[in-house]
Chain A
Amino acid sequence: MKTIKAIIASLALFAMFAGTAAQAKVEIQWWHAFGGRLGELLDEQVNKFNASQDKYTVVHTRKGNYSETLNAGIAAFRAGQHPNILMVFEVGTASLMAAKGAYVPMYQLMKDAGQRFNPNGFVSAVSGYYTTTDGKMLSMPYNSSTPVLWVNKDLMKKAGLDPEMDLSTWKRVGNALDAAKAKGIDMPFCTCWHSWVHLENFSAYHNIPFASKSNGFAGLDTELAFNSPVHIKHIQTLGKWAQEGKFKYMGRRNEAGKNFRAGECMLMTESSAGYAGIKKEAKFEFGIRHLPYYGATEAPQNTIIGGSSLWALSGKSKEENKATAAFLAFLSRTDIQAKWHQDTGYLGVTTAAAKATKKSGFYKSNPGTDLAGIQMMRNKVTQNSKGLRLGSFDQIRGIIDEEMEGVYNGTKTAQVALDSAVKRGNVLLRRFERANK
Chain B
Amino acid sequence: MEKRVFFKGWWLPALLVAPQLLISFVFFFYPSGQAIWNSLFLPDPFGLKTEFVGLDNFRFLLSDPYYLASFKTTIIFSTAVSVSSMALGLYLAALADRLIKGAGVYQTLLIWPYAIAPAIAGVLWLFMFNGNIGLASYYLKALGYEWNHTLKGDQAMFLVILASSWGRISYNFLFFLAGLQAIPKSIIEAAAIDGASFWKRFGTIVIPLLSPITFFLLVVNIVYAFFDTFGVIHTITSGGPEQSTTILVYKVFSDGFVSQDLGSSAAQSVILLVLVGILTVIQFKYIERKVHY
A residues at B contact (CB < 8 Å): 67, 71, 74-75, 77-78, 95, 98-102, 251, 392, 394-395, 402, 405, 431, 434-437
List CB contacts (< 8 Å) of B103-158 with chain A: 150
Contact A99 B60 (CB under 8 A): no
Contact B260 A95 (CB under 8 A): yes
What are 25 residue pairs bridging A and B, where the CB atoms are less than 8 Å apart in the complex? A71-B258, A71-B260, A74-B45, A74-B46, A74-B260, A77-B47, A95-B45, A98-B44, A99-B45, A99-B48, A101-B46, A102-B46, A102-B48, A251-B150, A392-B261, A402-B242, A405-B242, A431-B261, A434-B42, A434-B53, A435-B42, A435-B43, A435-B44, A435-B51, A437-B51
CA distance A95 to B45 in the complex (A): 8
**Chain A interface mostly helix, strand, loop or mixed?**
helix
Q: How far is the CB of A395 from chain B (nearest CB, A)?
A: 5
Contacts of B45 in A (CB 8 A): 74, 95, 99
Contacts of B202 in A (CB 8 A): none
B residues at A contact (CB < 8 Å): 42-48, 51, 53, 60, 150, 241-243, 257-261, 263
**Interchain pairs with CB closer than 8 A, number:** 48
Contacts of A99 in B (CB 8 A): 44-46, 48
Q: How far is the CB of A252 from chain B (nearest CB, A)?
A: 9
The answer, among A67, A71, A101, for a CB contact under 8 Å with B48, is A101
Q: How far is the CB of B133 from chain A (nearest CB, A)?
A: 13
CA distance A101 to B258 in the complex (A): 22
CA distance A74 to B44 in the complex (A): 10
Contact B257 A78 (CB under 8 A): no
Contacts of B241 in A (CB 8 A): 405
The answer, among A98, A102, A394, for a CB contact under 8 Å with B259, is A394
Q: How far is the CB of A137 from chain B (nearest CB, A)?
A: 20
CA distance A435 to B261 in the complex (A): 9
Contacts of A102 in B (CB 8 A): 46, 48
Q: How far is the CB of B239 from chain A (nearest CB, A)?
A: 10
Contacts of A405 in B (CB 8 A): 241-242
Q: How far is the CB of B130 from chain A (nearest CB, A)?
A: 14
Q: How far is the CB of B111 from chain A (nearest CB, A)?
A: 35
Q: How far is the CB of B289 from chain A (nearest CB, A)?
A: 45
Contacts of A251 in B (CB 8 A): 150
CA distance A74 to B261 in the complex (A): 12
In the complex, the chain A residue whose C-beta lies closest to that of B45 is: A74
Contacts of B47 in A (CB 8 A): 77-78
CA distance A380 to B21 in the complex (A): 67
Contacts of A71 in B (CB 8 A): 257-258, 260
Known contacts A67-B258, A71-B258; A100/B51 CB under 8 A: no
Q: How far is the CB of B241 from chain A (nearest CB, A)?
A: 8
Contacts of A67 in B (CB 8 A): 258
